[in-house]
Amino acid sequence: MTSPAIKAERLQQRLETFADIGATPAGGVNRQALSPEDREARRLLAELAKARRFGVFQDAMANLFIRRSGRDDRLPPLLIGSHLDSQPTGGRFDGALGTLSAFEVLEALEDAGAQTPSPIEVVAWTNEEGSRFAPGVMGSMAFAGAADPAQWQSLAGSDGASFADELAATLAALPEAAMRPLGMPLSGYIELHIEQGPSLEKEGLAIGVVTGVQGTRWLKVTVTGEAGHAGTTPLPYRRDPMVAAVGMMHQLQASVMPSDADARLTVGRIATIPGSVNAIPKAVTFSLDIRHPSAGRLDAIVGDVQAICRAEGAKQGCSVEIATAFDMAPGVFAPEMIDTIEAAARRLSLPCKRMVSGAFHDALFLARVAPTAMIFVPCRNGISHNEAEYVEPASIRDGARLLLEATIAATTT
Amino acid sequence: MTSPAIKAERLQQRLETFADIGATPAGGVNRQALSPEDREARRLLAELAKARRFGVFQDAMANLFIRRSGRDDRLPPLLIGSHLDSQPTGGRFDGALGTLSAFEVLEALEDAGAQTPSPIEVVAWTNEEGSRFAPGVMGSMAFAGAADPAQWQSLAGSDGASFADELAATLAALPEAAMRPLGMPLSGYIELHIEQGPSLEKEGLAIGVVTGVQGTRWLKVTVTGEAGHAGTTPLPYRRDPMVAAVGMMHQLQASVMPSDADARLTVGRIATIPGSVNAIPKAVTFSLDIRHPSAGRLDAIVGDVQAICRAEGAKQGCSVEIATAFDMAPGVFAPEMIDTIEAAARRLSLPCKRMVSGAFHDALFLARVAPTAMIFVPCRNGISHNEAEYVEPASIRDGARLLLEATIAATTT
């Protein structure tokens, strides 16, 4: 028996093969959840698995599992993987990289004739992206018992398709996969993914050891003042909601992120009513996307936001309403799994740092039912959810090597 | 002969009669330029004129003139008036008040058998509002030779109507009005109008003696940065155009108006691209409406705007483009006509102040060809271009009395 090793050319070739399924003219991928393209990708993965005599399973959410037996098959498996669905104009690596790198790990173990103490399973979660059927991370959420899939029975997709019909068709398209119940005991979960941000590339690091997922709060701030003629209304008679909104945003932009490197605050959307060049608006609405890895700090920032918005509104004689449009608590990964991955990276001399994920992942829900952590690799310019998404071959190799090393370590400890 | 005096009840009644033409259910007026309702109002004014044996004239722009002879009819007339067209959901007083008050002045002179040295004419300018056919102040602009009406021959209205056809139909609807050439020598022009702003009411003043019209510059500022994921992009890697735009607006709002009581700066419109809650925008555009009665100060403010925008853009690594969407030089009224009106207000013990108009008026172009000034009366809450527009009967009376007094003074001096 040789020592297990990633075959980087095989993985690279396989990424290209999968990128052909749903390929877009601009070099990206349109392989939305439960679409014919998604089914084709799932079929190809199942066939590759059968060729290696791995077990193939699916559950009621069409989460797809590839199982390589361990020494004791009664032990709960270690799960590794990601998703195969994409955004409508998505990239080739978001999801596919983690899924195919996990499959490469199974193949590397098989090539080496390595026996692991417990089984290892590769998973491709259903509908991580949520662009065709909202919400995203459906498969992992249902697997972790965090949502009852019955609620999605009558859901319609962005293309008008029935979720129930498309799910049934997807399950039926893979009759050779044995059905299993939703959810099962796991010894752990490791997900490799592209960073979808610029930090690793800018800092010249090969690996991010992900310690959790930021909590997210979306607020919609509505500032109401008094409409007026831009020419005929002197300053003392103005109750201008735009002046109030600018005061709010200015204070928040100058304080929240500059004082806390872990905080994120973004104004992505803003509108005035009525929106005339020559009218003082009657009202202004703007969005705040606020993120922090600590639930307590997130609450504190939201408290600051409310105080600042009310004070700036009052200064201009404007009323302020703040509505919560979305609220997701931070996900905290398992220290032992984080340590395992970090130690593996050190053994492989891969420059790395611990970091928090700014984007959602299936791992967010797996962390509720098993010791979970993630591995990030850099993507060019931090670009993702975009046909221009790109990962250097060296990063693909580094990630897969680390996933193999961490998988072996996690099943042996 | 008695001393000429306004009959306030007659004027009030006449305002109500005209408000019935194009009346809206909400109590406003829809009497857009060259519409059947506009024609009906013009016909009524012409018939009232004929009943008093005043002369009725129109020119190629369908500007309507009502002439009361003076002692020497070879002298250039003093012109008084305003417009009869309205916004689509306009008020009862914008334009109509000035036109009907001017007609009341003619009737008061006639009632008293008063003879003026020169003729006095009432004018109703065509298409002041510009809401059906853009631009506004067409009639007065063409009268003053500031625009060639030929350019509007193929113009289409917001309702698809042909400007040329509607103009011809309007002229044809008043065959008894003698045609005269566009433009003529005038001894002066006085226009009474509602303030369309809150100053007079808030300061408890009966009259504004208008010394000019603010110059206006509309700028469109486009700030371009780098789109990014709201969750995965730390502060040091952001080139956020919204942060830059907020920095610009904050500085401008804190400096331009607070440091100069005559300046106006309004952000009425703003948009982000792509406008996703969870994305750092790629670009932000916002409008600036900047006004000042002094051309030099207006230029200086626009210079400051450009410097501030470039500096704030550079701070965030964003590029900035500033386009001029509209540029109207300030209008400066004639000192002798301003003095005449102010002295008349003092004789009538009407509390008044000198002020600059923030809105456009036909007087802006008349000022280029004749000694011109305006009289403002307060409107409730400064509301105009709105069906809720309202003027107190006392203000209507005060305005008409002053217009009569100033008219007599202007024709005698």
pLDDT at A228: 87
Q: pLDDT digit string (tens) for A29-38?
A: 999 999 999 9
For chain B, which residues score pLDDT lower than 50? none
Helix or strand (DSSP H, E) at B270: strand B270-273
Residues above pLDDT 70, as percent of chain A: 100
Q: Report the C-alpha gap between A108 and A103 in whole angstroms.
A: 9
- Pick from B202, B205, B277, B381 the residue to mutate for testing the A interface (most A CBs within 10 Å): B277
Cβ <8 Å between B382 and A233: yes
Q: How confident is the model at residue A89 (pLDDT cuts 50, 70, 90)?
A: confident
Give CA A210 to chain center in angstroms: 12
Q: Mark yes or no for CB contact A289/B231 under 8 Å.
A: yes
CB contact under 8 A, A357 and B214: no
Encode pLDDT of B11-47 as tens digits.
Answer: 999 999 999 999 999 999 999 999 999 999 999 999 9
Neighboring chain B residues of A87 at a CB cutoff of 8 Å: none
Q: Cβ-count burial of B331 within 10 angstroms (0-12 exposed, 13-18 middle, 19+ buried)?
A: buried
Provide the mean pLDDT of chain B.
96
> A214, B231: Cβ pair inside 8 Å?
yes
Only one residue has tokens 């001393």, namely: B3
Q: Which CATH superfamily is domain B8-213+330-412 in?
A: Zn peptidases (3.40.630.10)
Return the percentage of chain B with pLDDT > 70, whole number: 100
- In chain B, residues with a C-beta closer than 8 Å to the C-beta of A231 are 197, 214, 216, 264, 289, 291, 357-359
Cα–Cα distance measured from residue A201 to residue B284, given in angstroms and rounded to the nearest whole number: 27
Average pLDDT over residues A292-317: 97
Q: Which residues are within 8 A (CB) of B395 and not within 5 positions of it... i.e. 6 or more apart? A: B206, B377, B378, B379
Greatest C-alpha distance within chain A: 87
Is residue B167 a contact partner of residue B62, using CB atoms and an 8 Å limit?
yes
pLDDT digits (tens, 9 = 90+) for A7-22: 999 999 999 999 999 9
Orientation angle between helical segments B96-111 and B36-51, nearest 10 degrees? 10
Neighbours of B408 (CB within 10 A): 21
Strands A64-68 and A120-125: antiparallel
Q: How far apart are the two ends of chain B, measured CA to CA in Å?
A: 21
Name B326's bridge partners: B218
Q: Where are the domains of chain B?
A: 8-213+330-412, 215-328
In this predicted structure, the answer to whether residue A277 has a pLDDT above a threshold of 70 is: yes
The predicted pLDDT at position A413 comes to: 62
Nearest-5° Cα angle at B2, B352 to B339: 25
Of the partner residues B249, B268, B291, the one whose CB lies closest to the CB of residue A275: B268
Residue B193's pLDDT is what? 98
Q: What is the mean pLDDT of residues A142-155?
A: 96
Asked if B382's CB is within 8 angstroms of A232's CB, the reply is: yes
| Domain A215-328 in this protein, CATH class | alpha beta
- In tens, the pLDDT along A327-383 reads 989 999 999 999 999 999 999 999 999 999 999 899 999 999 999 999 999 999 998
| Alpha carbons A231 and A277: distance in angstroms, whole number | 11
B404 token code pair: 């009569």
Kind and range of the H or E element at A292? strand A283-292
Q: What local confidence, expressed as pLDDT, does residue B201 receive?
A: 96
Q: Is the pLDDT of residue A231 over 60?
A: yes
User: If you average pLDDT over every residue of chain A, what do you get?
Assistant: 96
Looking from the CA of B303 toward its CB, the CA atoms found within 13 Å total 6
Contact B269 A280 (CB under 8 A): no
Cα distance between residue B265 and residue B251, in whole Å: 12
What are the backbone dihedrals phi and psi of residue A244, each rounded to the nearest 5 degrees, phi first?
Answer: -65, -45
Backbone angles phi, psi at B67, to 5 degrees: -115, 130
pLDDT (0 to 100) of residue A61: 98
- Residue of A242, A258, A264 with shortest CB distance to B231: A264
Has B193 been labeled as part of a binding site? Answer: yes
Give the DSSP letter of residue B177: S
Contact list, B240 vs chain A (CB under 8 Å):
266
What residues of A are in contact with residue B267 (Cβ under 8 Å)?
242, 246, 272
Answer yes or no: do B229 and A382 touch at CB < 8 A. Answer: yes
Please report the pLDDT score of residue B326 as a whole number. Answer: 86
Cα distance between residue A244 and residue A316, in whole Å = 6
B292 labelled ligand-binding: no
Pinpoint the alpha helices (H) of A72-191. Answer: 96-111, 138-143, 163-172
| Residue of chain B with shortest Cα separation from A252 | B243
A385 known ligand binder: yes
The Cα of A168 is separated from the nearest Cα of chain B by a number of Å equal to 32
Candidates A196, A199, A250; nearest CB to B246: A250
- Rounded Cα gap, residues B34 and B38, in angstroms: 6
Enter the DSSP assignment of B236. Answer: G
Residues A83/A362, Cβ–Cβ less than 8 Å: yes
In this complex, the residue of A237, A325, A382 whose CB is nearest that of residue B202 is A237
- Non-local (6+) Cβ contacts of A300 within 8 A are none
Which of A145, A45, A78 shows the shortest CA–CA distance to A368?
A145
Confidence bin at A385 (pLDDT 50/70/90): confident
Closest among B121, B113, B273 to B189, alpha carbons compared:
B121
Which chain A residue has its CA at the smallest distance from B219's CA? A277
Q: How far apart are CA A70 and CA B63, in angstroms?
A: 95
CA atoms of B158 and B139, how far apart (whole Å): 18
A250 is in an annotated binding site: no
Q: How far apart are the C-alpha atoms of B1 and B17, rounded to whole Å?
A: 30
Whether residue A1 is predicted with pLDDT greater than 60 in this model: the reply is no
In sequence order, the β-bridge partners of residue B280 are B228
